[in-house]
A = this chain, B = another copy of it.
């Protein structure tokens, strides 16, 4: 760059007290107002963190080395930065901000790193798990809108581990997808399938994030759960699927789902999920298949049963709620802001 094009305020003699303002100044040349705001807040928080902790050079270097390891262990089948975000509660927080839910609707939770594109389409009554050691479980569900009207033809992605707590993709040698399926809701908003009772399992903890959990004396377990992801045009959070490989290779992603999961009440890790995903509204009690249900669904009487009624929010409902809550939060912070592409930026006009 030609030095004559350098057109920024003089940056010199930077001290503990004036450096933040000066970094803001040099970054203020950015012409994307949202990026400028994100950088301004990021730099303020990073600097405040260093000032409040009197961060030492040794600690700074330990952090540099930790983050480098987190990047370097990531691959097309492992995303350690997402795991890091998960274990400090950031993933759940961002989902809550981006996908606010009206009171009557199904709450979102963390996606986890094990969704794939490979699942087979199954009709109602199909089996999603073929693990002979798993405890069979009948799953009966409906999908409705916030007015209680059934939604037909919703594409539903479902995935769970095998009886040992591993997803299919965690086995180096495998024949194809298992423990996962894609289904469609019928005219009554119903979808049902045969699965196995979910079991608890640890998140990958053989890398830097696992070491961090260990230093914090935290366990790496997630309580027993089954994942769901819903997709239908016009409804929120259901547009683009995410696979592990996308995390590294795809540079522009149009949208992200707010996935759901059902958790078994009474699980030993129910109240200490390593990634903070459990919500009261997503907890279910395992039921028992009645004589009538056994006959209707062709399964054994007395077997395990999960029933759940999902409630989806429309894109419009979600966007409106998100923008309302964003402006409320900004007002509470005392900042004069406006929305730019649906997200807050300083209102400098």
Contact = CB atoms under 8 A, between A and B. Distances in A.
Nearest to A216: B30
Nearest to A279: B13
Interface residues of A, number: 106
Given A256-B57, A273-B11, A90 B329 contact: no
A81 B3 CA distance: 26
A38 B63 CA distance: 11
A12 B280 contact: yes
A247 interface: yes
A291 interface: no
Interface in A222-273: 247-248, 251, 253, 255-256, 258, 268-273
Contact of A85 (B60, B70, B71): B60
A278 interface: yes
A156 to B, nearest CB: 20
Contacts of A104: none
A163 B23 CA distance: 29
A14 interface: yes
A219 B273 contact: no
B64 A82 contact: yes
A130 to B, nearest CB: 28
A64 B22 contact: no
Nearest to A202: B1
A92 B251 CA distance: 31
Interface in A81-120: 81-82, 85, 88-99
B271 A65 contact: no
B272 A11 contact: yes
Given A56-B343, A85-B64, A279-B13, A90 B46 contact: yes
A212 to B, nearest CB: 9
Interface string A195-211: 00000100000000000
Contact of A90 (B3, B41, B50): B50
A53 B35 contact: no
A49 B54 contact: no
A300 interface: no
Given A53-B343, A68-B71, 11 more contacts: A4-B268, A14-B279, A15-B96, A26-B216, A27-B218, A30-B217, A42-B49, A45-B48, A54-B330, A65-B247, A67-B67
A326 interface: yes
A94 B12 contact: no
Nearest to A40: B53
A289 B342 CA distance: 63
A58 B343 CA distance: 12
A107 to B, nearest CB: 9
